[in-house]
Amino acid sequence: MIELDIRWKTRDFDLQVAFESRARHVALFGPSGSGKTSVLLAIAGLRRPDAGRICLADELLYDSARGIQIAPARRGLGVVFQDGRLFPHLRVRDNLLYGQRSNPGAHAAIGFDTAVGLLGLTDLLARWPATLSGGEARRVAIGRALLSQPRALLLDEPLVGLHREAREQVLHYLRRLRDEIGLPTLLVSHQPDEVHALAQEVVLLDDGRVAAQQPIGEFRG
């Protein structure tokens, strides 16, 4: 599902990550500062590596040797950011529909009602993002990414900063999503239980390098 080989060097960080996975649900696991989020942003096209190649779900997104760099808006990836990033001036319903309106002609594989039902958002549609709890906001962010009809979901620490109850709840919805919709997923996390709950294969990162790659059965985070 994913082939990745990127290099990215700044004054205080040196990242060289290469891995390949056939699994549908992959996790990037490692301590903070290991470069997980940088890799996710590079896949999303929001951070440009110095060089390398990224191929996801059979589509070439980036290849420095061939001068290929697909614009983020055209990658068709649903990104769920660590900090949610809901649009504060739009109600939940319009946040959810934002991605759908970008490609109105596209065949809607995931219907609005389906996504709203799956993520339990029915009662939140008329609310402003500022009035949502942490867990609710995270679920809306997931729904918004899902409704942009992505080819794959990129989840950047989707449970970070939530208290235990909200965490359980969002994890439950993410598991449901995986089982019922089954979109290819790349999860970035430093929490072993999330990885165990959502991924089939784990790529362990440490200090900008791949330390190991394991099927979930062997993973002891």
Partner 1 sequence: MLSAAESTALAISLKVALLSIVVALPFALALGLALSRLRFPGKSVLEALLNLPLVLPPVVTGYALLIVFGRNGVIGAWLSTLGIQFAFHWSGAVVAAVIMSFPLLVISIRAGFDGVDRRLEAAAESLGAGPWRRFFSITLPLSRRSVLAGCVLAFARAFGEFGATISFVGSIPGETRTLSIAIWELLNQPGGEAGLGRLVWVALLVGIAASLFAALLGRRSQANGAAHD
For the chain, counts of helices (H) and of strands (E): 6, 11
Q: Does 74 bind partner 1 (CB under 8 A)?
A: yes
Q: How near is the Cβ of 85 to partner 1 at its closest, in Å? A: 4
Instruction: Rule CB under 8 A: choose which of 72, 120, 192, 221 binds partner 1.
Output: 72
For 74, 104, 175, the CA distances from 107, given in Å and listed in that order, are 16, 8, 24
Instruction: Rule CB under 8 A: choose which of 35, 99, 135, 143 binds partner 1.
Output: 99
Considering beta carbons, is residue 124 or 145 the nearer one to partner 1?
145
| Greatest alpha-carbon span in the chain | 49
How many whole angstroms separate alpha carbon 212 and alpha carbon 202? Answer: 8
Contact yes or no for 26/219 (Cβ under 8 A): no
Q: How many CA atoms lie within 13 A of 83 on its CB side?
A: 4
Q: Does 102 bind partner 1 (CB under 8 A)?
A: yes
Stretch of 24-32, 60-68, 74-82, 195-203 contacting partner 1, by CB under 8 A: 74-82
Q: Does 73 bind partner 1 (CB under 8 A)?
A: yes
- Which string of x and - marks every residue 142-181 that binds partner 1 (by CB under 8 A)? --xx--x---------------------------------
Q: How near is the Cβ of 71 to partner 1 at its closest, in Å? A: 8
| Cα dihedral 5→9→13→14 (10° resolution) | 50
Sheet containing 2-10: order of strands? 13-21, 2-10, 51-56, 59-63, 68-69
Instruction: Rule CB under 8 A: choose which of 9, 20, 108, 131 binds partner 1.
Output: 131
**Residues lying near partner 1 in the complex (CB under 8 A):** 44-46, 71-79, 81, 83, 85, 87-89, 98-99, 102-103, 128-131, 144-145, 148
